[in-house]
Amino acid sequence: MKIRTLAAAIAAVCLSTQAYAQSGDSALTLGKVDVHQHADGQLTAHQVLTSVDVLGADQIEDKNVSQSWELLGQMPGIQLTETRQGAESGKVSFRAFNGEGYLNAIKTLIDGIPSNVNSGNQRFIDMLFPLEISYIEVVRGTNDPRYGLHNIGGNVNFGTRQGGNYTDARLGYGSYDTRSAQLAIGREGNDFAQNYFLGYQDSNGYRANDASKKYGIGGKWFHGNLEDDGLRVGLTARAYHNEAEEPGFMTAAEMKADRRASELRNRNDGDDRDMRQFTASVDLKLADDLYFGTKLYYNRYEDDRRITFSDLPTGNAPRQRRIWDERQAGMLGALTWNASDVLTLEGGFNYEQQDNRYQRLRFSYSEPTDFWTTPARIQNDERHTLDNWGAYVQAIYQPIEALKIVPAYRVDRYDGDTRLVDGSTGRLQRYGNIDQPKLSVVYALAPGANVYANWGRTAQVLTGGTAPAYLTPGQGAMSPSTNTGMELGIKFSPFRGAQARLAIWQQDAENEISNMPATGTTVQLGKTRRRGVDAQITAHLGERWTAWASHAYQEAKIEHDGRLGVESLEGNEVAAVPRYISNIGLDFQATEALKLGLQGRAQGDYYLEERNVAGKYGGFAVLDLSARYRISPAWSLDLQVKNATGREYAYVWYDTFFQAQAQPMLSPAAGRQLYVGIDMKL
């Protein structure tokens, strides 16, 4: 990839004479954002950050998805890791970080509340259903100072509906006897807003032993008007339950014989998952130019997963029961001062205390695996805590109308202890103060062209309850892995009704570690370099047509691993990072009542492991079609065809831990699917 050539291309775009008026930030929005409420007075991602994408409610609410992380497949540069194993269904990643679970680099938030589990996995996303989501906001890169833990390559915030007066309902039915029902109610008046949601989904699944059933319930209550009364208080409560079977991973020969089958060894595999989230918030207007906002939150995550990983008919390593019980309690706050027309200052802080337990039980061979007998051995039973203190300051300095400079600085500290199954104890690695400076600059070259650049540092700390995250007996001290990123880009209007963005970026990590707490697997990657190009465009073509497209080219390589006495990984690619991710979409308003849609996404192949010897897998290209007919102002009917071409593809991982003869293991994706839905809006 020739960085100089790409920089020259961006400069050429900057000098383009085709420019039309646009907003002063570099964010791109797809669809309509009905309710996009950040805390009044506080700085928003649009104001201070430079690589932001927003997906609106009309691109979300009528989508048929198994889990809500799939909705991000419409957004630029997003890699979907589709494991499709019951409740462990998959997750999202970007900026050349993969979704395998070894390095969870994407901070996840729900209404601004931290919503990752201890390992960094994004399981709290599953609590949400499409009809309750108002928008999804993706911030890519290293220049966001608001968050520390897990915010390595960026963050994703799911904003749920707040305020308004509505009664919306949706019923759906489709392939594999999938049934769903959603109800969203909002009422607002006399400075009191209340929102409620109920969701249900039941499906037999694409494969045998693939049934799942999930329920969600939520409520939000907010009182006060910040501008008039100077005070607004709010409460949010959300609960979720999922019961799912797991069809298991297949060898290539097994998938060739019957891709919809589930082998006998997996017949008892499954997962029971419960999650809850409670928040309380207070927003204060201390003066006309001074605002303070704070949130308290409590997250609870309980999971009982039974899984058989391979067809090896000996031993107990592949047959596991994994049990998580995690509690998170935390607080966030921010003080924002609009000092003058050219300067705004903000200082923020966060504290999170985690109290976690993880058990891993192994069972003797049987077919199917019997998880209710006495386990052959208890490999893990950790009780561990993790405390995170963080604080940041940032400013918006705009000396002239065309120039905006945003310096920021963040500091994080971590502490915690663990008790292992053998009774031994340990303290969390002593990272000390982790300093993370950041800087963003936006300059308006013309009314329709903003060039921007950012530089920033984030950090990776290890998670889980065992070494190397904790200094248990025999474990040496380790420093955190810092990730330093930079980006140069431009947002412009190539023609009237269109918005586009082109960017080149690079992130260098020191002492990066591939670490999966659930399996106790740790690989020292050392110094890595990720870099890429992001190109995207959204265009309204007349009154009837809307089109969008994006293409992300990326690579992640190990620059220096420092591995002594073992095979060097230097020069190799990081596992499970496709070289490209592409999206296209087209909406056509055929008549006042009928809307037609097309969406496609594709990604390239990738190496399955860091040695780069097991071949490349994982590439695919799928096409979805949709039609929506408005019967009346209150009622509409829609039809969706997913994977319309019937493309056969599979998620692939490398089974190095449980088999004497390592081989790729596959989880096939569903074929062509048909769904119908009916919506009511009152």
Query: Using one digit for the tens of pLDDT, what is the confidence trace for 666-678?
Result: 999 999 999 999 9
Q: Give the residue among 146, 141, 477, 489 at the shortest CA–CA distance from 332.
A: 146
Q: Look at residue 471 and tell me if it is in a domain.
A: no
Q: Residue 4 in 3-state DSSP?
A: helix
What integer pLDDT is reported at residue 9 of this predicted model? 46
The whole-angstrom distance between residue 7's C-alpha and the CA centroid of its chain comes to 29
Residue 22 predicted with pLDDT over 80: no
Q: Average pLDDT, whole number, for the chain?
A: 91
For residue 563, name the pLDDT band (cuts at 50, 70, 90).
low
Burial class (CB in 10 A: 0-12, 13-18, 19+), 23: exposed
Q: What is the pLDDT of residues 368-412, one digit of tens each?
A: 999 999 999 999 999 999 999 999 999 999 999 999 999 999 999
Q: Look at residue 190 and tell me if it is in a domain.
A: yes
Measured in residues, the chain has a length of 682
- Within 10 A of 432 (CB to CB), how many other CB atoms are there? 11
Q: Are 392 and 412 in contact (CB under 8 A)?
A: no
Structure tokens at 292: 């303070």
Q: What is the CATH number of the domain that holds 151?
A: 2.40.170.20
Q: Look at residue 279 and tell me if it is in a domain.
A: yes
Structure tokens at 449: 């062209």
What integer pLDDT is reported at residue 26 of this predicted model? 67
Q: Are 184 and 157 in contact (CB under 8 A)?
A: no
What integer pLDDT is reported at residue 2 of this predicted model? 47
Residue 10 predicted with pLDDT over 80: no
Q: Are 292 and 335 in contact (CB under 8 A)?
A: yes
> What's the Cα-to-Cα distance from 238 to each of 234, 243, 596, 624, rounded to whole Å?
14, 17, 34, 31
Q: Look at residue 23 and tell me if it is in a domain.
A: yes
> What's the Cα-to-Cα distance from 443 to each of 18, 25, 142, 227, rounded to whole Å?
18, 10, 19, 31
For residue 614, name the pLDDT band (cuts at 50, 70, 90).
confident
Structure tokens at 546: 């809307």
What integer pLDDT is reported at residue 243 of this predicted model? 98
Helix (H) or strand (E) holding 46: helix 45-48
Structure tokens at 670: 């569903």
Q: Look at residue 277 and tell me if it is in a domain.
A: yes
Q: What is the pLDDT of residues 251-273, one digit of tens each?
A: 999 999 999 999 999 999 999 99
Q: Are 319 and 308 in contact (CB under 8 A)?
A: yes
Mean pLDDT, residues 422-444? 96
Q: What is the pLDDT of residues 181-239, one digit of tens each?
A: 999 999 999 999 999 999 999 999 999 999 999 999 999 999 999 988 899 999 999 99
Q: If you search the block for the tokens 């002239």, which residue do you land on? A: 400
Bridge partners of 214, per DSSP, are 201, 242
> How many Å apart are CA 493 and CA 490, to the nearest integer?
10
Residue 11 predicted with pLDDT over 60: no
What integer pLDDT is reported at residue 311 of this predicted model? 76
- Within 10 A of 309 (CB to CB), how many other CB atoms are there? 22
Q: What sign does the CA torsion over 541, 543, 545, 548 have?
A: positive
What integer pLDDT is reported at residue 46 of this predicted model? 76
Give phi and psi for 317, each to the nearest 5.
-60, -40
Q: Give the residue among 446, 453, 441, 456 at the shortest CA–CA distance from 494.
A: 446
> How many Å apart are CA 490 and CA 500, to the nearest integer?
8
Q: Look at residue 467 and tell me if it is in a domain.
A: no
Residue 98 predicted with pLDDT over 80: yes
Count CA atoms closer than 13 A to 672's CA, side-chain side.
5
List, in order, residues 6 or more apart from 196 with CB less than 8 Å away: 183, 184, 185, 186, 218, 219, 220
Q: Look at residue 468 and tell me if it is in a domain.
A: no
Q: Are 354 and 469 in contact (CB under 8 A)?
A: no
Which letter does DSSP use for residue 227 in this model?
A: H
> How many Å apart are CA 458 and CA 594, to the nearest integer?
47
Residue 288 predicted with pLDDT over 80: yes
Q: What is the pLDDT of residues 321-362, one digit of tens each?
A: 999 999 999 999 999 999 999 999 999 999 999 999 999 999
Q: Are 70 and 599 in contact (CB under 8 A)?
A: no
> How many Å apart are CA 281 and CA 276, to the nearest integer?
17
What integer pLDDT is reported at residue 657 of this predicted model? 52
Task: Please give the tally of structural domains in the chain.
Answer: 1
Q: What is the pLDDT of residues 462-521, one digit of tens each?
A: 999 999 999 998 888 888 899 999 999 999 999 999 999 999 999 999 989 888 888 878
Structure tokens at 41: 């007075």
- Within 10 A of 613 (CB to CB), how many other CB atoms are there? 12
What integer pLDDT is reported at residue 8 of this predicted model? 47
DSSP secondary structure string for all residues of 364-398: ---SS--TTS--SEEEEEEEEEEEEEEEEEEEEEE
Mean pLDDT, residues 539-559? 95
Q: Look at residue 218 and tell me if it is in a domain.
A: yes
b or e along 666-677 (b: 16 or more beta carbons within 10 Å of the residue's beta carbon)? bbbbbbebebeb
> How many Å apart are CA 77 and CA 581, to the nearest integer?
6
> How many Å apart are CA 314 and CA 84, to the nearest integer?
26
Domain assignment of residue 343, given as a range:
3-459+476-681
> How many Å apart are CA 329 and CA 353, to the nearest integer?
5
Q: Are 680 and 634 in contact (CB under 8 A)?
A: yes
